Amino acid sequence: MIGTAQMMTVIAKEEEYFMLEKRGVEVKLPLTNASNLNLAVGDTETVFIYRDYDHEVVATTIIPNAQVGKFAWGTVTDVRKDLGVFVDIGIPKDVVVSMDDMPALNHLWPKKNDRLMIMLRVDEKERIWGVLGEEHDFKAIATKATQDMFNQNVTGTVYRLLKVGTFVITEDGHIGFVHETERTSEPRLGQKLDARVIAVKPDGTLNLSLRGRVHEVLGDDAEMILTYLRSVGGKMAFSDKSDPDAIRAKFGVSKAQFKRALGSLMKERRIKQEDGFTYLIEEDSEK
C-alpha cells in the first residue's frame, strides 16, 4: 500500500492517532495528519500511505497527485549532492529523487523552488523514491500547439537535457525544444524559462528560442558596448572591422550582432569610429 491512496476503515481511536485497517493490514493515521478529527470506529477514509521521518508506516488524508504509477509536478525544497533532490508533493514528508537520476554536471541539477514531474516507486526496503518523468510521459499529457502561436512568448519548465538542446513543457501543456544555438546558456533541469516561439511544427510541438527579438538583443548589446567604453576611458580598439573571434572573446556576441549595435549607437550619435578605434561621444561634447 505504500506510495498509494487507499480507502481504509477506522478500527480504533487512540489519544494521538486513529488506527485504520484494510484486508488485515493496519496503519496509524496520526491526528496531525487527519483533516477530520471526528472520525468514529467503522467510518471509512481515503488516505495516502508512506513512511514518516521515523521510518514508521503511517497514513495522511492529504492525497498527492504523484503516486506509484501516477506522475505529477512537485516543487524542489532542497538539494544534496551526496543523495539527490528533495521534492515536495504535498504530504508531510518530502520525496527524494536519487542523485543517479540527476544530470552528470552539478550545475545542471535543479535548484530550490524548481519543478520536477515525478512518479513514486517503492524499493525493497519500502522506501519511497521519486522517479523523473520520461519523454513518453510528457507526450501523454501534452496538447498540440496551433500556428497562431508563432512569435508568441511562452513560459515552461525544463524536463529533459540533451547536448544538442533542451526540452520544455509550457504552462499550457505544449512540448517545446530549444536548440543549443537558441540558448544563451544551458538551462538546468526543472528550471522555469521564458521563451519565444520561432516555429510551430506539423506535429504540434514548438521550436523555441531563449534569445531576444532583434530589437531587444540590440538594446542589450548596445548598452554593453557603452558600459565597456565608459570602463576603459571612452576609447576601445574594436570597430565594425575587427576580427570576429576577437569580438566574441571580448564581448560574447557575434560580429553581426556587434556591428548592428555599433550602427545603432552611431545613428544615435553616441559613438564614433576612427582608424579602427571606437570612441564614446559624451553628452557634454554635443552641447
pLDDT tens per residue, range 89-116:
999 999 999 999 999 999 999 999 999 9
Average pLDDT taken over every residue of the chain: 91
**Average pLDDT of the residues in 250-272:** 88
pLDDT of 182 reads: 86
The CATH 2.40.50.330 portion of the chain extends over 5-60
> What's the pLDDT at 18?
96
Which tops the pLDDT comparison, 85 or 287? 85
Sign of CA dihedral 152, 158, 162, 163: positive
- Per-residue pLDDT reduced to its tens digit, 124-176: 988 999 999 989 999 999 999 999 999 889 999 999 999 899 999 999 999 99
**Residue 285 confidence class, pLDDT cut points 50, 70, 90:** very low
pLDDT band at 252 (very low <50, low <70, confident <90, very high): confident
Q: How many angstroms separate the most distant Cα atoms in the chain?
A: 92
Q: Is the pLDDT of residue 284 over 50?
A: no
H/E stretch holding 217 reads helix 214-231
C-alpha–C-alpha distance, residues 222 and 73, integer Å: 40
Lowest mean pLDDT of 11-25, 101-115, 261-275, name the range: 261-275
Query: What CATH fold (topology level) applies to the domain 5-60?
Result: OB fold (Dihydrolipoamide Acetyltransferase, E2P) (2.40.50)
Distance CA 187, CA 166 (A): 7
Can you tell me which residue has the cell 519565444?
A: 196
Mean pLDDT over residues 35-44, rounded?
93
Delimiting residues of CATH 1.10.10.10 domain(s) in the chain: 214-286
Residue ranges, CATH 2.40.50.140, the chain: 72-133, 143-209
Q: What DSSP element (H or E) covers 220?
A: helix 214-231
**Cβ(223)–Cβ(212) below 8 Å:** no
Average pLDDT over residues 115-120: 96
CATH class of 214-286: mainly alpha
SS3 257: helix
Q: What is the mean pLDDT of the segment spanning 271-281?
A: 91
**CATH 3.60.15.10 assigned to 143-209:** no
User: How many other β-carbons are positioned within 10 Å of the β-carbon of residue 149?
Assistant: 18
Extract the C-alpha cell encoding 262: 555599433
| pLDDT at residue 121 is higher than 60 | yes
pLDDT in tens, 50-98: 999 998 999 999 999 999 999 999 999 999 999 999 999 999 999 999 9
Is it the case that residue 271 has pLDDT exceeding 50?
A: yes
Residue 221's pLDDT is what?
Answer: 81
How large is the average pLDDT for residues 36-48?
Answer: 94
To the question of domain 72-133 being in CATH 2.40.50.140, the answer is: yes
C-alpha cell of residue 230: 565608459
